[in-house]
């Protein structure tokens, strides 16, 4: 996939995603992950917070790692520093059902994660904010105030 991904690739992906594992989940006010996690929940996604130590993030069951999730997810959204992403990519490869997308938030890059996941058919997004892209590409589609 080219970087940045084209809207023609992102729009159908975002329109089809229903379940998102948020790695690095943290509900401390003022943190980007808190704002974006709450946005995703409010936008109707089923969100699975993933954090090795925190529990009950956003009032939801929080999982210690991707291997602990109760079932498949469509997307893994990472709020971790770039140097941790390859390890999470390896965690994804161990999942019984691979997600369609491995999304690294704004400022996060991992050529190693890309090299591990893309050959397995997982779309890899780097350095983009999921909330910003979802709002930009789908808000008009999803919000009835914008329909004719």
Digit-coded pLDDT (tens) for 97-121:
999 999 999 999 999 999 999 999 9
Q: How confident is the model at residue 148 (pLDDT cuts 50, 70, 90)?
A: very low
With bands split at pLDDT 50, 70 and 90, how would you rate the model's confidence at 138?
confident
Give buried/exposed letters for 96-126 (b at 16+ CB in 10 A, else e).
eebbbbbbbbeebebeebbebbeeeebbbbb
136: containing domain: 15-140
pLDDT band, very low/low/confident/very high, at 141 (cuts 50, 70, 90): low
Helices (H), 6-142: 7-16, 32-42, 82-93, 111-117, 130-142
CATH code for position 76: 3.40.50.720
State the total domains in the chain.
Answer: 1
Q: Is residue 133 part of a domain?
A: yes
Q: What is the pLDDT of residue 3?
A: 63
More confident residue, 2 or 21: 21
């Amino acid at each position: 996939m080219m970087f940045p991904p084209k809207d023609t690739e992102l729009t159908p992906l975002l329109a089809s995603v229903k379940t998102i594992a948020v790695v690095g989940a943290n509900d401390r006010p003022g943190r980007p992950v808190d704002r974006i996690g709450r946005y995703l929940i409010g936008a109707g996604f089923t969100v699975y917070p993933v954090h090795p130590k925190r529990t009950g993030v956003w009032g939801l069951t929080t999982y210690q790692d991707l291997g602990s999730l109760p079932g498949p997810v469509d997307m893994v959204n990472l709020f971790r520093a770039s140097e941790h992403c390859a390890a999470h990519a390896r965690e994804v490869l161990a999942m019984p059902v691979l997600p369609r997308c491995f999304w690294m938030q704004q400022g996060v890059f991992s050529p190693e994660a890309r090299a591990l996941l893309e050959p397995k058919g997982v779309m890899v997004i780097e350095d983009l904010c999921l909330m910003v892209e979802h709002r930009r590409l789908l808000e008009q589609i999803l919000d009835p105030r914008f329909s004719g």
